[in-house]
């Protein structure tokens, strides 16, 4: 497992002293809660939120919304490329503080696609497709349009992450060799990431910017 720091607790020394040494809990709300959807309907194919609703929520409640929308875009791309088919609406969360509402850090992130007994379908569609193997450039275009992002810079970001992730995965494996030496699952996950990234690079054109869609992402999501 991957051990991460709790993001919903205040660990700042000043805050600790103000609360008499007790960690203060930050309020959080997953996307099902924020959208008024019951937990039993967390998957899109069961009537749960789709990606368009998720992006609309982030735009509506966060300020400034642009950085949070970009983070959500990265989350969506990352989940697709690592094979996390369980990225449903309860695995995206808003984090509340006195100052702001932001998108919470990633959690419950794993490569479910490496396990043959688990569903080959993603929790939310990319364009019109639930299966990553069926996602082509036109489906990324459909996704970008549905969530209010410019197509060209969205595809540019997809390519950037597809080129970086295999190296990042291998680096992480080398840093944890003593814990996972000889693990067939780890090797299978890395192979899956490499295959998905290679397929994505193959299917997306290298030069994605044209005169009709040349806006950089930050300005495209205002």
Look at phi and psi of residue 127 and say left if phi exceeds 0, alpha if psi is from -120 to 50, else beta.
left
Q: Which fold has domain 26-220?
A: 1.10.1070
Residue ranges in the chain whose pLDDT is less than 50: 1, 16, 209-216, 218-222
Summarised one tens digit per residue, pLDDT across range 211-222 is: 444 444 543 333
Longest CA–CA separation in the chain, Å: 58
Within 8 A by CB and 6+ apart from 189, the residues are 82, 83, 111, 114, 169
Tens of pLDDT along 132-146? Answer: 999 999 999 999 999
- Per the CB < 8 A criterion, the answer to whether 102 and 58 are in contact is no
**Of the residues 86, 108, 177, 213, which is catalytic?**
86
**Annotated catalytic residue 108:** no
Q: Is the pTM of this model over 0.75?
A: yes
CB 143 within 8 A of CB 51: yes
pLDDT for res 209: 47
The residue behind tokens 């019109």 is 128
Please tell me the distance from the alpha carbon of residue 148 to that of residue 73, in angstroms, as a whole number. 11
**Predicted local distance difference test score (pLDDT) of residue 23:** 72
DSSP assignment of 75-123 equals HHHHHHHHT-TT--GGGSEEEE-SS-EEEPPP-S---GGGSTTS-SEEE
């Amino acid at each position: 497992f991957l051990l991460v720091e709790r993001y919903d607790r205040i660990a700042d020394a000043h805050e600790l002293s103000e609360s008499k040494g007790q960690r203060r809990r930050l309020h959080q709300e997953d996307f099902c809660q924020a959208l008024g959807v019951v937990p039993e309907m967390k998957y899109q194919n069961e009537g749960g939120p789709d990606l368009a609703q998720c992006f609309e929520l982030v735009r509506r409640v966060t300020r400034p919304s642009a950085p949070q929308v970009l983070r959500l875009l990265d989350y969506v791309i990352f989940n697709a490329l690592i094979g996390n088919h369980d990225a449903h609406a309860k695995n995206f969360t808003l984090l509340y503080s006195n100052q702001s509402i932001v998108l919470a850090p990633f959690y419950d992130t794993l490569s479910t696609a490496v396990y043959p007994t688990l569903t080959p379908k993603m929790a939310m569609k990319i364009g019109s497709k639930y299966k990553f193997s069926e996602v082509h450039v036109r489906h990324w275009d459909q996704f970008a349009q549905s969530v209010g992002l410019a197509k060209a810079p969205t595809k540019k970001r997809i390519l950037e992450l597809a080129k970086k992730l295999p190296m990042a995965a291998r680096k992480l494996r080398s840093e944890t060799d003593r814990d996972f030496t000889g693990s067939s699952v780890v090797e299978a996950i890395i192979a899956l990431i490499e295959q998905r990234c290679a397929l994505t690079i193959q299917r997306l054109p290298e030069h994605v910017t044209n005169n009709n869609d040349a806006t950089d992402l930050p300005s495209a999501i205002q």
